[in-house]
Chain A
Amino acid sequence: MSFLPYVVAAWICLVGIAGMATSRNLIHLAVCLTVTQSSSYVLLLSVGYVKHGKAPIFVGTKVGSTAADPVVQALTLTDVVVSVAVIALILALALDAHRLSGSVDPDGIADISG
C-alpha cells in the first residue's frame, strides 16, 4: 500500500485552508475552497483503487474479476455536484460584493463586526 495518495490529499486540504485563511480576493477564496474539497476526491479515489482492477462495469465480465470500488466514484460525483452549487452561490455573492463596494476583498466587505 502506498502512502503517497494520502499525503497528497492531506497536502491539498491544508494548502486550500491556508489559501482561504490568507485570501484577499473572494474569487480566489472560492477557488481555495474548491482546492480543499478536491482533497476529498483524491482521498475517495485512492480508497477505492484496486491494483490491476478494471473500471466497475460488469457487463460481459467474468464473475470474480477485480474492479475498482464503484461506490467511491459515485460519492466523488455527488461531491462534485454539491460543490458546484456552493461555488456558484459564492461567486454570485462575490459579484454582488463587487457591485456594491467596488471590491472583492473580504476585509473590504467586513461591514459588521463585534
Chain B
Amino acid sequence: MTWIPPLLVAIPLLSAAATAGLDHITPRPIQDALVIGAATATTALAFVLLWHAESHEVVEWFGGWRPHHGVALGIDFAVGPLAAGMCAVIGLVVTLALLYSLTFLREAARLFDALMLVALGAMCGFAMSGDLFNLFVWLELMGVAAFALTGFQVERLGPVQGAVNFAITNSLGGYLFAIGIALIYARTGALNLAQIGTSLSHGPAGGLVIVAMTLLLCGFLIKGAVVPFHLWAADAYAVAPAPVCAVLGGVMTDIGLIGVARLYWSVFAVPFGHGHGVGDVLLWLGIATAVLAGTMAFLQRHLKRMLAYSVVCHIGIMLAGIGLLDSAGLAGAELMFLAHALLTAGLFFVAGILHVDHALIDELHLRGRGRGSWVLAAAWFAGTVGLVGTPYVGIYLGHGLIDEGARPWVLAPLWLGSALAGAALLRAGARIFLGWGDAEEELLGRAIEEDPVERDVLRPLLVGVALVAVVLGVAISIVPGLGQRAEYAAERFRDTSGYAAAVLHGRAVTPPASLPVSIRHTSLESILFATGTTIFALGLALAGLYRSRLPRGISRAASRTLAPPIRVLHALHSGVVGDYVTWVAVGTAVTGGIWALLLHG
C-alpha cells in the first residue's frame, strides 16, 4: 500500500494544474467535476490509507532510494494512523469547502479551486513527510496558496491587509524554520527525521540543538497561531471568503501543531531525555493561548473574527495536550482536531450563509435578523455546544482525554478558555437567531467593513454542506471505538525508536491488540468540568447580552474595571505587521531563552 501516500499529494496537485491550465477550454461543469472528484478521491484514499496504517507504518521512498544499512539516502513519506487520520480530515474539510464554493464564489476565477487543491496537496504532504526539508517545502507551499486565497477579494483594503500580515508573519516563521534546518544539518549531516533522531540520541544535546529546536518549533507555532504568534490569524480570517476560512481555521492552522508533535517525538524527545522542559513550555504557551484567545473571541462582534479567535483558543488547548507529552494528551489533541475542524468549518459555513442572506456579518447589525431560520439556528447552536465541549458532544472526548494527564491547575484555565470562546458564539447566536440582548454594546469596539455580497448562490447546497460538517463534528465524541483508536495512534506516534526502526530498517510495528468498539469513557472530573463549563458559558453569554440590565452598581463597576484592560487587549492586536514581526522576534527569543535555562547543563 505504499503507492497511496504519493497519490494523496499527486492527485490534488495535478488536478490543480489541470484546472488552472484548462480554465479557458473546458466548460464549467467538467471543471467542477474534476475539482470535486480530485478532492473526493484524495479523501477516500486517505481513509484507505488510515485502514492500512493501523497495522503497519506505511513508508514510501521516492524513486526507490531506500535506506542503506540504516542510513537514509532518499526522501520518504512515513505514515502512521495519526498522519493518515489527519489527511482524511483535511480531505473531508477541503471537499466540503469546495462543494460550498461551487456556487458561492462564482465570479471568482477557477484559480480559486486550483489554489484550494494546492493547499490540500500541500497539507497532506506536510502531514505525511518524514523529511525535515520537505516539511519546510510543504509548509511554504500551503502558505503561498493560503496567502493568495486570503487576498482573493482584492477590491477592498481589508483582504490586502489580512493577506500581507498573514504572508509576512508566516514567511518569517518559515525562514526561521529554514535556519533551524541548516543548524540541524550542520550538527547531524542528515535531513531525514528518523536519521536525525538516531544521530542526536548518541550524545548530549548542546546549545546548538536547543537553538535549532527553538527556531524549528517556533516556525510551526507561528503557523499554528499560538500566543504570542497568533496576531495574524484574526486579520486573515476576518477577510477571507467563508469556504477559505473553513479550510484555514479548520485544518491549516492546526497542522502547525502536528509539525510540533512530529518533530518533538521523532527528533527531540531522546536528546532532551524525555524530560518535561520542552513540554512544560508548550503547555504554558497552550494555556496562555486558550485564555487570551478565548477572551478576545468574547470581545468580537465580527462573526468570522470571533470564530478566528475561537480557533486560536482551541489550538491552545490542543497544544497543551501535546505539551503534556503523554499518549492520552496527544490522543486528546488528535480527537479535538477532528471535532474542531468539522465544527469550525460548519460555523464558518453558517456565517457565510448569514452574510448571503442579509449582507451583514456583524453580530450587532444582524441582531434578530436570523429569526425564523431554524435550520441555521440549529446548526449554529449545535456547533457552538460542540465547541464548548458539553459532556459527550463535539470536542468533549478530546478535551476529556487531555484532562486525564493534566493537573487540576492546568484543567481550569483550559476549560475557562473553552467557556469564553463558547460564550461568545452562544451570545452571537442568541442575538442573531433569537433577537435577544441589547442592540448596542460599546465594549465590543467599532464595526468592521462588510464583505461584498455573493449573488445567485444555491442556498440549499450551502445549508446542506454546513449541516453535514456540524453533524459530523458533534458526533465525534460518541463514535464507538474512536477514542481507543486515537490512543493507539498516539502511542505509535510517540514511539521514537519504533518510528526510526520502521523508517530506517523497515521493521514492522506491533499491531494493536483488538481494540474495543465502544464509546471511550472519561473521568468523572472531566464530566464535572465540562458541565460546569457549559453552565458558565451560558451565564457569560447572558451577561454579555444583557449587561445593561445588571444592577446599575455592578454594571458600572464592571465597565470601570473591564474597560481599561479591554482597551489594552484591543490595542495589542493592532493590525500593523511591524508589531507582529516584533512579537515573533521577542516570542522566539524568550521561548528559546527559557528552553536554554531549563535544558542546558
Q: Identify the A interface with B (CB < 8 A).
A: 9, 13, 17, 20-23, 26, 29, 33, 36-37, 39-40, 43-44, 47, 71-72, 75, 78-79, 82-83, 85-86, 89-90, 93-94, 96-97, 100-101, 106-107, 109-114
CB pair B167 A39 closer than 8 Å? no
CB pair A86 B570 closer than 8 Å? no
- Chain A residues whose CB sits within 8 angstroms of the CB of B448 once the complex forms: 111-112
CB A102 to nearest CB in B, in angstroms, measures 11
- Chain A residues whose CB sits within 8 angstroms of the CB of B161 once the complex forms: 97, 109-112
Given contacts A36-B172, A86-B143, A112-B448, whether A101 and B157 have CB atoms under 8 Å apart is: yes
CB proximity to A under 8 Å, residues B259-286: none
Given contacts A29-B168, A106-B577, whether A97 and B157 have CB atoms under 8 Å apart is: yes
In the complex formed, the residue of B with least CB distance to A103 is B157
CB A70 to nearest CB in B, in angstroms, measures 13
Find B178's partner among A20, A40, A100 (CB 8 Å cutoff): A40
Given contacts A90-B167, A93-B151, A93-B163, whether A106 and B578 have CB atoms under 8 Å apart is: yes
Given contacts A75-B133, A86-B167, A111-B161, whether A17 and B172 have CB atoms under 8 Å apart is: yes
Q: Identify the B interface with A (CB < 8 A).
A: 133, 136-137, 140, 143-144, 147-148, 151, 154-158, 160-164, 167-168, 171-172, 174-175, 178-179, 181-183, 185-186, 191, 235, 238-239, 299-300, 305, 445, 448-449, 569-570, 573-579, 581-582, 584-585
- Chain A residues whose CB sits within 8 angstroms of the CB of B300 once the complex forms: 114
In the complex formed, the residue of B with least CB distance to A78 is B137
CB pair A106 B164 closer than 8 Å? yes
The 3 A-B pairs at the shortest CB distance, nearest first, are namely A113-B575, A114-B570, A110-B575
- Chain B residues whose CB sits within 8 angstroms of the CB of A17 once the complex forms: 172, 581, 584-585
In the complex formed, the residue of B with least CB distance to A75 is B133
Find B175's partner among A22, A40, A71, A97 (CB 8 Å cutoff): A40
- Chain A residues whose CB sits within 8 angstroms of the CB of B579 once the complex forms: 21
CB pair A82 B154 closer than 8 Å? no
CB pair A107 B160 closer than 8 Å? no
CB pair A113 B573 closer than 8 Å? yes
| Sample of 5 further A-B pairs with CB below 8 A, known A33-B171, A43-B183 | A9-B179, A13-B179, A20-B577, A40-B178, A93-B164
CB pair B178 A21 closer than 8 Å? no
Q: In the complex, A20→B171 CA distance in Å? A: 12
CB pair A47 B578 closer than 8 Å? no
CB pair B151 A33 closer than 8 Å? no
CB pair B585 A114 closer than 8 Å? no
Q: In the complex, A78→B138 CA distance in Å? A: 12
CB pair B179 A82 closer than 8 Å? no
CB B502 to nearest CB in A, in angstroms, measures 24
CB pair B185 A112 closer than 8 Å? no
CB pair B178 A37 closer than 8 Å? yes
Q: In the complex, A107→B575 CA distance in Å? A: 8
CB pair B167 A22 closer than 8 Å? no
CB pair B140 A110 closer than 8 Å? no
- Chain B residues whose CB sits within 8 angstroms of the CB of A29 once the complex forms: 168, 577-578
CB A108 to nearest CB in B, in angstroms, measures 9
- Chain A residues whose CB sits within 8 angstroms of the CB of B182 once the complex forms: 40, 43-44, 47, 72, 75
CB pair B185 A47 closer than 8 Å? yes
- Chain B residues whose CB sits within 8 angstroms of the CB of A23 once the complex forms: 578
